[in-house]
Amino acid sequence: MTGADTLRRWALALPAVVVITLFSILPLGVVLVYSFLTPGDFGNVKWIFSTDGWFSVLFERNIFDDTIAISDANIGILVRSIVLSLITTLITVIFGLPTAWFIATRPVAQRNFWMFLITIPFWTNLLVRTIAVQEMIRSDGVFNRILLGLGIIHEPIQMMFSNFAVLLGMTYVFLPLMVLPVYAAIEKFDFRLAEASYDLYASRLFTLRRVILPLIRPGVIAGSILVFVPSLGAYVTPRIMGGGKSMMLGNLIDLQFGQGRNWPLGAALSITLTVLVLLALIWYTRLTSGRKERNHG
């Protein structure tokens, strides 16, 4: 390709590149810089270098005697974010995989209908869907009303603002993200391989473990990354379902820039979250490109 051609192509891509550089990459760089500054008195920062922001991601200094201790609050939230995201991913696999299998094994004419049912929640506003699950478990929501009405309980069960509520909310809103790629993988699955497996004396379980799962694995992995990444960075759902009691990293970051008035800590937490997401994405790319190599090599 000639130099002029390369230039022409760069020019064509330029508007998009500029917009993203200005409004995404550059601001991210600023966040990185801020994480090494000193908190201002009323929010914002003072331009004095400091590693306190990063330090307080994991530790806290006692203001009276200057002793250093592990920051239980921050680490708790960090661990909760990762664990809840992993559990969300697991639950969406448990429901999403059979659903995708169910849809992919319907007659072709029916599949569109079932996929339609999956795509509607997928395209529906996240906040609306979160409000919908919230209604189910609010203290005077559907479940409590039913249980009270049946006389099973006499006082509403407090389900909101707990890990359970966050988990329920995230599972609910991210479930369609699992079904779509797994469905695509199962649709490509050659059912003659399942026939071959049964022909060779395999049971249903053996066929599932040894033939079906290994072959639809790419779809499950793609679905897992599609659920895990937004779960880890979730903000809206944990805010509504978990409130101040069951915070995730996204909410902690918000807190530091708001009431906490510790922007460098917020910035350091933001970078931490981004790095965690990138690690997950790198793990995913490794996994998928590794398979390609093995297939060709």
Partner 1 sequence: MAKRSFDVTRLPGTAVLAVACFVILYIPMAILVAYSFNSGKVIGNWEGLSLKWYGSAIHNQAFLDAAINSLILAVTASVVSTVFATMAALATTRTEKFRGEGAIHIILNQPLMVPEIVLAIALVIIIGQIKQMTGYNGLGFLIAAHTTFCIPFAYLPIRARLEGMDLSLETAAADLYAGRFYTFRRVTLPLLAPAILSGFMLAFVVSLDDLVMSDFLKSPGQDTLPTYLMGELRRNLTSEIYAISSLLLLLSVLIVAGSWVATRKKD
Partner 2 sequence: MLDIRGLSKRFGYGKGEVTALHEVSFSIAEGEFFTLLGPSGCGKTTLLRLIAGFTGPSGGSLVLDGKDIAAMPPNQRPVNTVFQSYALFPHMTVGQNVAFALEAQGRPRSEIDPAVDKMLTLVQLLHLKNRKSSELSGGQQQRVALARALVAKPRILLLDEPLSALDMKLRKDMQIELKRLQRETGLTFIFVTHDQEEALTMSDRIAVMSGGHVQQIATPRELYDRPANRFVAGFIGESNFLSAKASAGVVEVGEGRVALADAPDGPVTLMIRPEHVVLSANAPDALELQATVAQLVFFGTDTHVHLVLADGTRLVARVQNALHGGQSLNEGERITISLPAKALRVVRDEEVAA
| Shortest distance, position 152 Cβ to partner 1, whole Å | 18
Looking at beta carbons only, is 76 or 214 nearer to partner 2? 214
Angle formed at CA 280 by CA 262 and CA 268, multiple of 5 degrees = 15
Q: Please answer whether residues 264 and 251 qualify as being in contact, where contact means their C-beta atoms are separated by less than 8 angstroms.
A: no
Give the total residue count for the chain: 297
| Shortest distance, position 193 Cβ to partner 2, whole Å | 5
Task: Kindly give, in sequence order, each residue whose CB lies less than 8 Å from that of residue 54, ignoring residues fewer than 6 positions away.
Answer: 35, 36, 268
Cα–Cα distance for residue pair 76/175, rounded to 1 Å:
25
Region near partner 1 per CB under 8 A, out of 51-59, 65-73, 125-133, 150-158: 125-133
Is residue 15 close enough to count as binding partner 1 by CB under 8 A? yes
Cα–Cα distance for residue pair 76/248, rounded to 1 Å:
9
DSSP 8-state code for residue 202: -
Report the site for partner 1 in 223-282 (rule: CB under 8 A).
229-230, 232-233, 235-236, 240, 250, 253-254, 257, 263, 266-267, 270, 273-274, 277-278, 281
Q: Which two tokens stand for residue 61?
A: 């200094």
Looking at beta carbons only, is 136 or 202 nearer to partner 2? 202
Binding site for partner 2 (CB under 8 A): 190, 192-193, 195-203, 206, 210-211, 214-215, 294-295
E strands along the chain, which residues? Answer: 38-39, 45-46, 59-61, 68-70
- Out of partner 1, partner 2, none, which partner does residue 73 contact, by CB within 5 to 8 A per kind? none
Report the site for partner 1 in 207-226 (rule: CB under 8 A).
208, 212
Region near partner 1 per CB under 8 A, out of 69-77, 95-103, 153-161, 288-296: 95-103
Binding mask 129-158 for partner 1 (x = CB under 8 A): x-xxx-xx-x-xxx--x-------------
Q: Nearest to residue 247, comparing CAs of 162, 138, 123, 156?
A: 162
Is residue 38 close enough to count as binding partner 1 by CB under 8 A? no
Cα–Cα distance for residue pair 114/53, rounded to 1 Å:
49
Give the binding-site size for partner 1 (rule: CB under 8 A).
88
Q: Which of 30, 75, 83, 200 binds partner 1 (CB under 8 A)?
A: 30
Looking at beta carbons only, is 71 or 231 nearer to partner 1? 231
- Out of partner 2, partner 1, none, which partner does residue 142 contact, by CB within 5 to 8 A per kind? partner 1
Q: Is 161 exposed, middle or buried (0-12, 13-18, 19+ CB in 10 A)?
A: middle
